[in-house]
Every structure is written in structure tokens, then in C-alpha cells.
């Protein structure tokens, strides 16, 4: 069964500071047409920074869109043309002040296929050493450590509700237990 939809016409309908929205007319599998609206996004990298003692480096951050504070993995957008490993290294240092000697790409996911082309690349970072963090202008966040097992408990309890972080933590737990070889 062919499910593909093809572009008939594409327009930028909102070009903001952060959000860029397109509205496309598409040809459906049955020959009819429909409208698809979606965010164009540069992609992002999320980092599972794991200390030798088993603690993850986490962030507490207020997210205005979702009107609340969230416990999150360090993460940030890919700069134009930037290698995703460099994005991970840059964001970890900027937001938390950590550098890491060992980087492993874990997986690539699509956080919002209904209305965004965003992808998130996940890295495991080990061999951590603390340097100086340097937040972007207008960025406010608190860094803390959380044992991996406790992060899993927080997911069970709903205390961690950010999907990007749930995916990373549960993937990492499987990776360390069952998937490493």
C-alpha cells in the first residue's frame, strides 16, 4: 500500500525569531489533495552525560511554551552546517560546563512527526571533566546530578515528563544493560 504524499505547492506562512512554519498543498495517495502545515527545524542534539559514579548531568529549566519547569537532558539546536558531535560537545559545555573524553552516538529520533521536521541525535558522553559553563543570553537553567536509576524512577512517577529526556534515559538504560554488545 503506497502511502506517500507529494508536494504540489509549498509556502512559508510564518517566519519568526524561533519558529518557521510552512503550509504545503499535497497530493494524497488516492489522487486527492490536502493541506499540511509544519515547523521547519534545524534539528537538535541531546546528551546523556554519565559520570563514573553513575550520575547523569541534568538540567532544571522553565519552558514557557509548556508553562512549567522541567527536568531535562542537556540539549540544543544544530547550527547551520555543524557536525552533530560538535553540537553535542558545544551544548554540553555551554549549558553545564562539562567536557567529555568519550562520545558514543546512541540513536536518532523524530520528536514531533505530526507537525515538525525536527530530528534529535542522542549521544552518550563519558569521561567527564568540569570546566566553565557559558549560557546563551536569555537562557536560565540549573544543573544537577541524578543517578540513572533515580531518573528511571522519576519517569515512572511522571516527575520527568519531557519526551526527549524519557527517550534518552530509557534508551540509555537498555543500552547499558542489554544493547552494548
Instruction: Using CB under 8 A, list all residues that contact its own copies.
Output: 1, 3-5, 13-14, 16-19, 21, 23-24, 26, 28-30, 32, 34-39, 44, 60-67, 69-70, 72, 107-118, 120, 138, 140-142, 152, 155-156, 158, 161-164, 166-167, 170-171, 174, 179
Identify the H or E element spanning 173.
helix 163-174
Q: How far is the CB of 45 from its own copies (least distance, A)?
A: 13
What is the DSSP secondary structure assignment for residue 135, as one 8-state letter? P
**Residue 11 or 132 having the CB closest to its own copies:** 11
55, 147 Cβ separation under 8 angstroms: yes
Beta-bridge mates of residue 121: 45, 108
All cell numbers assigned to 57: 548531568
Beta carbons within 8 Å of 131's beta carbon, 6+ residues apart:
93, 97, 98, 99
**Residue 86 or 115 having the CB closest to its own copies:** 115
What is the DSSP secondary structure assignment for residue 122, as one 8-state letter? E
Q: How far is the CB of 160 from its own copies (least distance, A)?
A: 9
Geometric angle at alpha carbon 70, from 69 and 71, rounded to 5°: 135
Q: How far is the CB of 114 from its own copies (least distance, A)?
A: 7
**Residue 17 or 129 having the CB closest to its own copies:** 17
Q: How far is the CB of 101 from its own copies (least distance, A)?
A: 25
Amino acid at each position: 500500500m503506497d502511502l506517500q504524499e507529494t508536494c504540489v505547492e509549498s509556502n512559508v506562512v510564518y517566519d519568526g525569531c524561533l519558529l518557521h512554519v510552512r503550509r504545503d498543498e499535497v497530493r494524497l495517495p488516492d489522487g486527492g489533495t490536502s493541506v499540511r502545515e509544519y515547523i521547519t527545524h534545524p534539528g537538535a542534539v541531546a546528551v546523556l552525560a554519565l559520570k563514573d559514579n553513575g550520575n547523569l548531568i541534568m538540567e532544571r529549566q522553565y519552558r514557557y511554551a509548556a508553562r512549567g519547569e522541567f527536568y531535562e537532558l542537556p540539549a540544543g539546536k544544530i547550527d547551520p552546517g555543524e557536525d552533530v558531535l560538535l553540537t553535542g560537545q558545544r551544548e554540553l559545555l555551554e549549558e553545564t560546563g562539562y567536557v567529555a573524553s568519550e562520545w558514543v552516538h546512541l540513536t536518532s529520533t523524530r520528536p514531533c512527526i505530526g507537525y515538525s521536521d525536527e530530528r534529535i541525535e542522542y549521544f552518550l558522553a563519558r569521561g567527564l571533566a568540569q570546566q566553565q559553563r557559558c549560557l546563551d543570553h536569555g537562557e536560565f537553567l540549573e544543573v544537577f546530578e541524578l543517578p540513572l536509576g533515580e531518573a528511571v524512577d522519576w519517569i515512572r512517577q511522571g516527575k520527568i515528563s519531557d519526551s526527549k529526556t524519557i527517550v534518552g534515559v530509557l534508551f540509555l538504560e537498555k543500552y547499558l544493560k542489554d544493547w552494548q554488545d
